[in-house]
Copies of this chain bind each other. A is one copy, B any other.
Amino acid sequence: METPVGPPPSPFLVFEAINAYHRTAAIKAAIELQVFTAIDNGRRSAAEIAAACGAAERGVRIICDNLVVYGLLTKDGTQYGLTATAKTFLSGNSPAYMGGAIQFLLSPTIMLGFDRMTEAVRRGGTAIPESGTLAPEHNVWVDFARAMAPMMMMPAQQLAETVLKVKPGPIAVLDIAAGHGLYGLAVCKANPASRLTALDWANVLEVATENAAKIGLADRFTTIAGSAFDAPLGGPYDVILLPNFLHHFDPPTCVALAKRLKSALNPDGVVATMEFVPNDDRVSPPGAATFSLVMLASTPSGDAYTFKEYEQMFADAGYSSSELHRFEGAPHAVVLTRP
């Protein structure tokens, strides 16, 4: 008897995969029209929500029914409600609101990369012109820095806790490709004896500088404008942060950068790499494994590297040891590496 290899064939699974973009369109429209905020403000029927959002009742009813199916809204009779996820992350009233992330995740540059996926698979790298999102001073990284900050709160906090455990004293921290700056700022906030240097393109550093001032850390914050590959790094540092940066490059480029950073690192310092790190099978956990597609769509040779691959890259750059820290239910992980 043959052992069945999985569920029986379903045309609807194919239909669902092809039509997956419908879900993107639905949540984008609901965010843009502030449907979640209207519901949080007590509008519950399609007519009430429509009035609050300046939309048509029929349009609101259909979009809300779809959001119920996707697990973002609830429905009781004709009354819609927010799930815990929508209340926390999609209502404009919430301090953890992350609706603005569509400015980056659905930016024309990123979407063009996915629109040209077939060509990207043929080439083995992005089909967006001029190295995709890696072009110098690309404005998509300003969008990223502004839009993605709320989505980074939890991982930034987890990175800060991980670093604090191994480096609790007075430390100098370098945040590579700081973006919104929140990773470094979280480390800096968790450790009042730390000083932070944020490196990124000048246009992006404006956002990090704003955030440092907002959090009240301006007096422990300096910046280096330029590329991580050739700007003078200063130092030496006790901690160098590499949050969501190495995934953009091929392994030789990562090794070259790691070597460069080693020269700016104290002998008892540590490099903290925050990344989407799939298991060795490259197909789990889902959130980390599927990140490889984003790199294929938008970079010439980036990837979602496994821990073994990061360990090897740092070893090739002359570091002595790496260790992996995962966080329950999260797609990201931290690799701590010592020189």
Contacts and interface: CB of A to CB of B under 8 A. Distances in A.
B5 A84 contact: yes
A124 B57 contact: yes
What does DSSP make chain A's interface, helix, strand, loop or mixed?
helix
Given A22-B114, A124-B57, A85 B9 contact: yes
Given A33-B121, A62-B303, A66-B293, A23 B22 contact: no
B19 A105 contact: yes
A296 B9 contact: no
Interface in A71-117: 71-72, 74-75, 81, 83-85, 87-90, 96, 98, 101-102, 105-106, 111, 114-115, 117
Given A65-B292, A84-B7, A117 B297 contact: no
B25 A114 contact: yes
Contacts of A61: 282
Contacts of A257: none
Interface stretch (A173-181, A238-246, A283-291): A283-291
A20 B18 contact: no
B151 A65 contact: no
A228 interface: no
A115 B16 CA distance: 18
A18 B106 contact: yes
Contacts of A330: 12
Nearest to A151: B11
Given A6-B83, A84-B8, A283-B65, A59 B29 contact: no
A226 interface: no
A21 B24 contact: yes
A5 B124 CA distance: 45
Contact of A105 (B6, B18, B125, B329): B18
- How many copies of this kind of chain does the complex include? 2
A329 to B, nearest CB: 8
Interface residues of A, number: 95
A171 interface: no
Given A17-B70, A21-B114, A301 B121 contact: no
A63 B293 contact: yes
A205 to B, nearest CB: 25
A56 interface: yes
A6 B76 CA distance: 14
Contact of A59 (B55, B57, B120): B120
Contacts of A20: 20-24, 27
28 contacts: A5-B81, A6-B74, A7-B71, A9-B89, A11-B151, A13-B85, A14-B101, A14-B151, A17-B72, A18-B28, A20-B23, A22-B294, A22-B297, A25-B114, A25-B293, A29-B118, A56-B121, A56-B122, A56-B125, A58-B125, A58-B296, A63-B121, A65-B282, A65-B283, A65-B292, A66-B289, A68-B283, A69-B286
Q: Nearest 9 A-B pairs (CB), nearest first? A: A56-B124, A59-B121, A9-B88, A20-B23, A21-B21, A58-B124, A25-B117, A21-B24, A25-B114
Given A29-B121, A65-B292, 13 more contacts: A7-B85, A8-B84, A9-B87, A11-B98, A11-B154, A14-B85, A15-B287, A18-B101, A20-B27, A25-B114, A30-B121, A55-B124, A65-B282
